[in-house]
Structure 1
Amino acid sequence: MSRPPSFVPPAGARAGRLRTARGEFAVVDAPAAAGAEPRGTALLLPGFTGSKEDFNPLHGPLAARGYRTVAVDGRGQFETDGPVDDTAAYAQEELARDVLAQAEALGTPVHLLGHSLGGQIARAAVLLDHSPFRSLTLVSSGPAQISVSQQQRVKLLRDALAVMTMAEVWDTIQAMEPPEETDAGLDAGLDDREDLRRRWLGNRPAQLLATGRQLCTEPDRVAELAAVALPFHVLSGARDDTWPVPLLDDMAVRLGARRTVVEGAEHSPNCDRPLATARALADFWDDALPR
């Protein structure tokens, strides 16, 4: 589970709602910094059990580089509404069409970024229609299904959701956490732990069931994606147990993508090393601007 350093939007950003043809989505929207030359807009999609707040550390440094960043909770994720029990509403194509609607609502071509599960949804959106996008960045998001160890974790979660409430599952997750993770959460403060709990309880069970299944069954669509005329960027930490780093290296080669490995980061470089991550993103987006 990602642990953003704060659930409070950073200076200059605002929490709000993005109205689209497919409903309203909760966002954190950060404009380009005053005095910075406007360079474009980026749409940021979080991962499984994550939320828009996972990108809070990136907004400031990207605003300073002239980029407006809009981080979004997907359908049934944290502060965006969605059906409680209808897993069909969270089929990958439905979520991808939500992304296309979000891009349309922003009213300008956007740099699309997806973290982990968000990367697979971003890929599906690009394969449906790449015209709203200037580029695609996949952050810690691999070519196909997640690793066997992570599939086992997702299966445990899906089994638990079949017999427990969301609150009961949260309590079980906390009881099973390694001591070092529990200590880190306590060091972060009681408010942060309560924010994580509130985010967990905001997720719709059907969304977790459907997207968890997607993560465990996703086919390799890299060849399809490579045929799309967009600039690609594959960014990850130096360690990742969801998709092994060599698998991400190979995917970047197959895509002809820029490859960035953020030293000192793991599955969430946006939280682990935000300044280095933001610098790599802005450098890529600068190069992807129309000439």
Structure 2
Amino acid sequence: MSYPAAPLFTDVAEAPDGGAAHWLTASDGVRIRIGHWRPSTGARGTVLLFPGRTEYVEKYGPAAGDLAARGLATLAIDWRGQGLADRLQQDPRPGHIGHFADYQKDVAAALESAIALDLPQPFFLVAHSMGGCIGLRALTEGLPVAAAAFTGPMWDIDLSPPKRLLARWVTSLGLALGQGNRLMLSTRPDNYVLYQPFDDNALTTDPEMYRFMQRQLQEHPDLGLGGPSMRWLNEALQETTDLARQPAPDLPCLTFLGTAESIVSARAIRTRMAGWPRGRLEMVEGARHEVMMEGPATRARAFDQMAAFFSEAAGA
């Protein structure tokens, strides 16, 4: 099967040569985008890379290079409602979703494309933040991967009990009033890295990576996304609550959690990994939310651990 070519912004991706992007159409007609890269020689599998909310294919160009250096191909996804995928409402700035289960239609389309494009198998999952929530659901539904790795997975959002109650009340009221597509209170329509100074950011301690993210959005504003809609937050809280009740999938899992995490719930991650029989939790000292966007030494350790973990899982 062939897929229409899609833009791939190689000027800002800092990715390996030879990458390509394609448009896919999910089962409900929503158009999404994938980008993929292969190692020049000796491919021993493909990482299905599930990005977080607000993210896009090009942001993981450096990760694709790190994985290629370790013999792994990469396929990354623009989820519906973000990146260059179809935005789901007239105002493209809020991160919006109809139902969280809709993301699984994107997973199915991406998996089908990985097989049709003859990307090397076995497949492995690497999922960050919101992608970790989507990825955990996909694993419970039988995503055919040999092993999974998560970084700062959104298995719950870091909200105090009073803020959680308020968020549920506000979003439920917004939905009841037909305002679910509106930007969530206290959030902004601009992308986080374009208004948040580096010194106070919650994503990375590495200034070069922060400038890398800023440059991508300055050069290609269409990739940007603002805060979540009321419906997105309402759906996310329901989905994480439901996933917390599900048993751990029966496959090897490696999860990275920065000791300075402040966006997703560290407690939910520790609880999940404590109950994952074939799981291992790696604490990353000093790291913030995006372990794959931290400094060179931290990134190298994380990708070395992922590659070794995947190799062991594939051998087993």
In the superposition, the TM-score normalised over structure 2's length comes to 0.71
Deviations 1:101-134 (A, max 9, x none): 211221155212221111111111222233x222
Is 1:260 the counterpart of 2:282? The answer is yes
Shift of 1:78: 1.1
Deviations 1:42-96 (A, max 9, x none): 1111111222233222111211111001111111211112432599964121111
In structure 2, give the amino acid aligned to 1:136. A
Partner residue in 2 for 1:80: 85
Partner residue in 1 for 2:189: 169
Shift of 1:15: 4.2
More helix by share: 1
Change in 2 beyond 3 A, CA 1:83/1:289: same
Change in 2 beyond 3 A, CA 1:266/1:89: closer
List gaps (5 residues or longer) in structure 1. Answer: 1-5
Aligned with 1:94 (options 95, 98, 102): 102
Taking the TM superposition and a 5 Å limit, the aligned residue runs for 1:1-291 are 7-19=12-24, 22=27, 24-32=31-39, 34-35=40-41, 37-84=42-89, 90-107=98-115, 108-130=121-143, 132-148=144-160, 162=182, 169-170=189-190, 177-178=196-197, 180=199, 188=211, 191-192=215-216, 194-195=218-219, 197-200=221-224, 208-217=229-238, 218-222=240-244, 224-226=246-248, 228-256=249-277, 257-272=279-294, 273-291=298-316
**Matches of 1:21 and 1:280 in 2, distance apart?**
33
**Matches of 1:196 and 1:47 in 2, distance apart?**
18
In structure 2, give the amino acid aligned to 1:40. G
Change in 2 beyond 3 A, CA 1:62/1:196: same
**Matches of 1:229 and 1:163 in 2, distance apart?**
38
Give me the identity figure in percent: 21
RMSD (Å) for aligned C-alpha atoms: 3.9
Residues matched between the structures, number: 272
Contact 2:52 2:131 in 1 (8 A): yes
Moved more, 16-25 or 69-78: 16-25
Shift of 1:223: 5.1
Change in 2 beyond 3 A, CA 1:31/1:20: farther
Shift of 1:230: 1.7
List gaps (5 residues or longer) in structure 2. Answer: 1-10, 116-120, 202-206
Contact 1:222 1:254 in 2 (8 A): no
**Matches of 2:221 and 2:274 in 1, distance apart?**
39
